[in-house]
Amino acid sequence: MKRLTCLFFLFCLFFGACSGKGQKEKEEKKEKEEIGLTPPYSIDLEKALAEEEPFSLSEIAKQIDYIPLETSSDILLKRVHQYLYYNDQLLVTDFSHLHAFTSEGKHIKKIGNKGSGPADYNYVNTLIKDDASHHLYLLTSGKMIVYDQQADFMTSRSFQDKSIRGYTGLMTGPDKFLIYLGSTFKKVGDTSPIYSFAEMDTSGRVIRQIPNASPIESTFNGMIVSPIPFYKYEDRIHYMDYGNDTLKVITNEGANETYAVCSLGYMKREVNTAGFSEQQMEELSSKLLVYRICEDKNYLYITLIWGASDNFQYVLFDKRTGETKNIGNKGIVNDLNGGVNFFPQQIEEDGTMSMWMQAEDFKEQVLSLNHQEQKDTYGEKFEQIRQFASQMDEDANPIIIKVKGL
């Protein structure tokens, strides 16, 4: 009996120690999450990609909404090149044309035309909104077009350097913005700098250019215009040049500081694909590029792209704990209504996350889901989204999907 009492006492000590340890670990994790890490962040993508772990939308969001863009014979968008909210209007361009919609997707007007007149554009390279002046800038070949708060034409201004082409841009301060010039490959043996960004003022004058720290080398001359991580968070611009793995931030003083290092290890793509054989392209399919990054107060949402394909891989980096989570190639599991999965392509200042999809893809994905299984899990919510998808014309304009955070 005395022995049993001792064993029981030891068990209590052990259980108490384990409970105390577990409680301590929980408290340390909570404290770490509340304090958070500080940049520069170290993101080991190579290690994270070794294991896939699903992630549910309800962990970061409470509401999901769908905006089908109105379709008609004269409002046909081939794709979504860029979209932004501007004074209660949703502006959408497919690179060839620019249209204004209401926040519900009803078409308001077409903005401008392709041509050579002062108000015309060759292509809608990028839209930049200036919240200070309430002006909208459309950058096209060799010039910028300025619009007022109603997105009506005001004036156009030529770039002083006619070779400048801006493919995306953000305001850096009053009457000036940073634009991405595209990525020029560095010819093997060439020691001259390769500039990928230029800061301009709204008169069309180049203030400075930012070189690519480690451009992709090639035996071929060429240039690639591809989406790159380029966004604003807490009023500071973050960017990562094509083929690089370091995310930079432009400080208020104009300096470029390291914000995060995304380590891909042996999986990093470092070569230009121009002139590659089939076998070389096949080998490239196991290599990755950082394609896009979005950010909110808790996470970096990282989109990777395999080789020269359209196959994506999605990763979450928790800024509070440093945990890097590979959530696979389908995105965040939509457990709000059981519909299509989600991964943000951009995040607004109020924290609203959004992405776009082709109507055809949206319809196909929703209708391919197990109807009975999803209905049993999500009930009327899934029935509504299934009915919405089934009535959709496959040739309809794209859909904007918006998610409200917790």
pLDDT at 280: 66
pLDDT at 374: 96
What integer is the mean pLDDT of 127-142? 93
Q: Are 197 and 180 in contact (CB under 8 A)?
A: yes
pLDDT at 4: 42
Most distant CA atoms of the chain, gap in Å: 100
pLDDT at 14: 42
89 bridge partner residues: 86
**Is 258 among the domain residues?**
yes
Mean pLDDT of the chain: 87
What lies within 8 Å, CB to CB, of 195 at 6+ separation is 181, 209, 210, 211, 212
Band (pLDDT 50/70/90 cuts) for residue 3 is very low
pLDDT at 8: 41
pLDDT at 27: 56
| Domain CATH for 59 | 2.120.10.30
pLDDT at residue 372 greater than cutoff 70? yes
What integer is the mean pLDDT of 160-170? 86
Nearest by Cα to 297 from 34, 28, 15, 6? 34
**Is 179 among the domain residues?**
yes
The number of folded domains in the chain is 1
* Residue 251 φ then ψ, to 5°: -75, 170
Q: Residues in the chain, how many?
A: 406
What integer is the mean pLDDT of 278-297? 83
**Is 170 among the domain residues?**
yes
pLDDT at 2: 44
**What's the angle, vertex CA 185, arms to CA 326 and CA 256, rounded to 5?**
65
**What's the angle, vertex CA 374, arms to CA 372 and CA 380, rounded to 5?**
95
Region class of 324: left (phi > 0), else alpha (psi between -120 and 50), else beta: beta
**Is 244 among the domain residues?**
yes
The model carries a pTM of: 0.88
**Is 11 among the domain residues?**
no
H helix runs in 36-169, sequence order: 45-48
Helix or strand (DSSP H, E) at 13: helix 2-35
pLDDT at residue 91 greater than cutoff 90? yes
**Is 20 among the domain residues?**
no
301 bridge partner residues: 294, 316
**Is 56 among the domain residues?**
yes
3 state SS for 255-316: CEEEEEEEECHHHECCCCCCCCCHHHHHHHCCCEEEEEEEECCCEEEEEEEECCCCCEEEEE
What integer is the mean pLDDT of 190-198? 85
Q: Which domain holds residue 75?
A: 40-405
**Is 322 among the domain residues?**
yes
